[in-house]
Amino acid sequence: MAKKLTPRAQDYSKWYNELVVSADLAETSAVRGCMVIKPYGYAIWEKMQAELDQMFKETGHQNAYFPLFVPKSLFEAEEKNAEGFAKECAVVTHYRLTNDPDQPGKLQVDPKARLEEELVVRPTSEAIIWNTYKNWIQSYRDLPILLNQWANVVRWEMRTRLFLRTAEFLWQEGHTAHETRKEALAEAKQMNQVYADFVENFMAIPVIQGLKSASERFAGAEETFCIEALMQDGKALQAGTSHFLGQNFAKAFDVKYATKEGGLEYVWATSWGVSTRLMGALIMTHSDDQGLVLPPNLAPIQVVIVPIYKGEEQYAAVCAYAEKIKAQLLQLGLRVKFDDRDNFKPGFKFNEYELKGVPIRLAIGPKDMEKNQVELARRDTKTKQFVEINALEDLLPKLLDEIQQELYQKAKNFREEHITEVDSFDEFKEVLKNKGGFISAHWDGSEETEQKIKEQTKATIRCIPLNQREEAGACVFSGKPSSGRVLFAKAY
Amino acid sequence: MAKKLTPRAQDYSKWYNELVVSADLAETSAVRGCMVIKPYGYAIWEKMQAELDQMFKETGHQNAYFPLFVPKSLFEAEEKNAEGFAKECAVVTHYRLTNDPDQPGKLQVDPKARLEEELVVRPTSEAIIWNTYKNWIQSYRDLPILLNQWANVVRWEMRTRLFLRTAEFLWQEGHTAHETRKEALAEAKQMNQVYADFVENFMAIPVIQGLKSASERFAGAEETFCIEALMQDGKALQAGTSHFLGQNFAKAFDVKYATKEGGLEYVWATSWGVSTRLMGALIMTHSDDQGLVLPPNLAPIQVVIVPIYKGEEQYAAVCAYAEKIKAQLLQLGLRVKFDDRDNFKPGFKFNEYELKGVPIRLAIGPKDMEKNQVELARRDTKTKQFVEINALEDLLPKLLDEIQQELYQKAKNFREEHITEVDSFDEFKEVLKNKGGFISAHWDGSEETEQKIKEQTKATIRCIPLNQREEAGACVFSGKPSSGRVLFAKAY
């Protein structure tokens, strides 16, 4: 805990990895690419879940649960989807272990217990869900279906990083079924807006809403909406996606409904998801060289109280005093911790709570008691002030709110400073190399150009912003005509 | 929906299966033995989760998340545990699908993508968690560790039934690590008590707390505490278990801690879990031939309002009136639904909400409006009464509370009537055949006797009750001496 983090300027990637582990958020496990989410990290994820779950319910969605496994024959039904995920599927082939005859005490996969049909561990659940919806949908009266599930999924990634890209991750996936193209498209757009609201207002991370280019779309989607955030190192991070699936899955699973008019039509679909990847976005948006910086909404501990004392007598007095303050603050509904451990020095504790991103620290010693005050330190700005005890009840809720707003504003300013309009490919490369961030440039709309830019710069089209201005221009790469700018960036 | 359920007296098992499906709780899926939990069923499970989660946190536990997969070498480390679960393990052997050269458009498991070490889909997580705890525990200062995870697990059962026994199920599993035997034993006992409190007070299901006999213990446990409930057909259902694991997993994974005194000791462990199986207990404890009966605590809809009308004019008037009542009741914090669908008759709706177990139904027609009243029907007792509108606000919360209590009392009376003390094996068989329920009988404590009784009667020892009276007697089967009675029953 005492070891300092590698500074961001020196090695951003190393800083991130060290921070995730030393702030007790997550760690690697014995299973290749799978992480253990530690209690402190999981507590943050739970706050995200609770807020999102409420937002889904307020927009008319219900939760359900579908199987972890997808039989191979169902998985391959929607060909584009299957093709997109086939390369990273964990596959269950057997259903039993048995004693290894050659190694007493060891087990082997029982060759007699081979499954007739292999089961794919879900990388996403469209296939199993649409195979179920088939039985639920006969008429327009059965529509819309507006479901979500909280689940684990597995994508066998070759290069993994804690939270950002793991073989197993936790997420929610919404799957909806609609009568019309228009309604499904509106749903996909609405859920992308819900994600934007959540990430901006609750996580204090500014995002740009946009559409993915064809090559970056979800496999099986006709249109993918996304929210894109910008990390401190100038790389973009896709924070959530919402897909308009057209009738692709309805056709693959033969899901038709009787219309009001007596016809028979294929059903329209959407799916949308955010994952524990958001933890990565959270960390990389707000944190600094001292550790995590948490927006108060997401902080498992919003206020920590640290006693300063010498000897047992002072310890007892300061503790009694601090407990009273803690009780007061709990009554306000704040999440407060009083750290009364007597085997760690205050300096050690200060470092620990800085590392863990606790928004406000109150230190209390005998002198403070005399003066009816505490020393208040803000994690984000590292400013300190003395505050009268009586003023705490008024001050703290306001201050937490202020911190939440200021974190957002700071991240937004950074983001705004890092959207650069460029009009030549030289400039494109120069900005990408020396400044980073989003590059706003004209693109001719072809996959070929997109691919060449990617090959030469590693930058991809992050999105075609929903608020794109119409503006005639020439593609930054090919010079061909373009009607508006899109956002490029290197991305996580 | 209009079809009647098979009566319980005719075929209890068929009644159960029909009820689960027709009340929209769950259904089978395309994956052998795996279920789809439908929104209405999942909403009930969410209420259980929320309450349990709070109880775990109030007893000092935090949530975390560990990998879905367990490498085979870790899985087999604790031999008894491995042996107990080996026969029902789903095993991932490959990490990629590829195009099937013989069948265009189809996929096959890529033979080149075989895992070096097979991964077991967790049937329970002791192995992966203790392999992690190994790195977290050095000294007594790192203890206790008090964690829980909400997760899916897979046990490849050959005979499955919705909620009661499924290949994949949802559960929570607590995993704690302690300095001493005494502390771990107290934790295991405490969590069994938490389960008993939850199931009795929140789910209105009376349970008996006890210890499992050696042969019924969790594989790898030194002692298994359990809560046993009694279903309406006279069969017992194990509703939750809490295991004292001794030092078995600490030894298997070499987890030692430095004691205060400077020694080095193996860590003591517990694990405890309840699952979606509780849904089965809920259904089979309270429901009747008309459908589900839900305790108000668990009811997604506590009060449903059904309008009675002829023609559009009456419909409009009744709806306006009902909406006002709904708004009032929502203000009380009740979960209220107003069913204003105009394409279903009241009788159809009445049946539907009976089937779905909604505790209170309010019907409102023009005559009721004139008299400022509603017709109130209780789902559990099927009694009806007219209630003045003004009295609803006072009455409903009290009535819901009363229903909750009465359901518990009714189930408890049934359970009490179905604990029969027997002193001979003939009586044992007679009671088991003609009355069912728990049989309280002396047992000589040997596995041999237990096994023979099971073979001859299909009854097993459900538990040695924690409140067992000391009473000298003779084993009902062997005649050998016994110091107290244990509970036998046929079980789910």
**Nearest CB to A36: which of B34, B67, B105?**
B67
Task: Quick: pLDDT tens for A87-134.
Answer: 999 999 999 999 999 998 899 999 999 999 999 999 999 999 999 999
Q: B54, B70, B97, B276: best mutation site toward chain A, by most A Cβ within 10 Å? A: B97
Task: Quick: pLDDT tens for A353-383.
Answer: 999 999 999 999 999 999 999 999 999 999 9
pLDDT at B2 over 80: no
Chains A–B, number of C-beta pairs less than 8 Å apart: 190
Q: What percent of chain B has pLDDT over 70?
A: 100
pLDDT at B336 over 50: yes
Q: What percent of chain A has pLDDT over 90?
A: 99
Band of residue B1 on the pLDDT scale cut at 50, 70, 90: very low
Task: Quick: pLDDT tens for B53-98.
Answer: 999 999 999 999 999 999 999 999 999 999 999 999 999 999 999 9
- Nearest CA-CA distance, residue A383 and chain B, Å: 32
Band of residue A407 on the pLDDT scale cut at 50, 70, 90: very high
Q: Which domains does chain B have, with CATH numbers?
A: 12-91+123-286 (3.30.930.10), 301-399 (3.40.50.800), 420-489 (3.30.110.30)
Q: What are the chain B neighbours of A72 within 8 Å (beta carbons)?
A: 97, 107, 109
**Nearest CB to A95: which of B35, B76, B90?**
B90
- Nearest CA-CA distance, residue B206 and chain A, Å: 28
Task: Quick: pLDDT tens for B116-155.
Answer: 999 999 999 999 999 999 999 999 999 999 999 999 999 9
Is A36 an 8 Å CB contact of chain B?
yes
Residue pair B209/B196 in contact by the 8 Å Cβ criterion: yes
Q: Do A109 and B93 touch (CB under 8 A)?
A: yes
Band of residue A28 on the pLDDT scale cut at 50, 70, 90: very high
Residue A1 pLDDT: 47
- Nearest CA-CA distance, residue B473 and chain A, Å: 41
Residue A54 pLDDT: 98
Q: Would the pTM of this model clear 0.90, i.e. be above it?
A: yes
Band of residue B3 on the pLDDT scale cut at 50, 70, 90: confident
Band of residue A285 on the pLDDT scale cut at 50, 70, 90: very high
Average pLDDT along chain B: 97
Band of residue A235 on the pLDDT scale cut at 50, 70, 90: very high
**Nearest CB to A68: which of B70, B76, B154?**
B154
pLDDT at A259 over 80: yes
Task: Quick: pLDDT tens for B13-36.
Answer: 999 999 999 999 999 999 999 999
Q: What percent of chain B has pLDDT over 90?
A: 99
Is A481 an 8 Å CB contact of chain B?
no
Band of residue B105 on the pLDDT scale cut at 50, 70, 90: confident
* Window 389-418 of B, Cβ < 8 Å to A: none
**Nearest CB to B46: which of A63, A94, A147?**
A63
- Nearest CA-CA distance, residue A137 and chain B, Å: 14
**Nearest CB to B74: which of A30, A46, A65?**
A30
Task: Quick: pLDDT tens for A427-443.
Answer: 999 999 999 999 999 99
**Nearest CB to A34: which of B27, B69, B87?**
B69
Average pLDDT along chain A: 97
- Nearest CA-CA distance, residue B146 and chain A, Å: 10
Parallel/antiparallel/unpaired status of strands A91-94 and A35-37:
unpaired
Residue A145 pLDDT: 98
Is B70 an 8 Å CB contact of chain A?
yes
Q: A29, A102, A115, A337: best mutation site toward chain B, by most B Cβ within 10 Å? A: A29
Q: Can you tell me the mean pLDDT for A145-168?
A: 97
Q: Do A31 and B79 touch (CB under 8 A)?
A: no
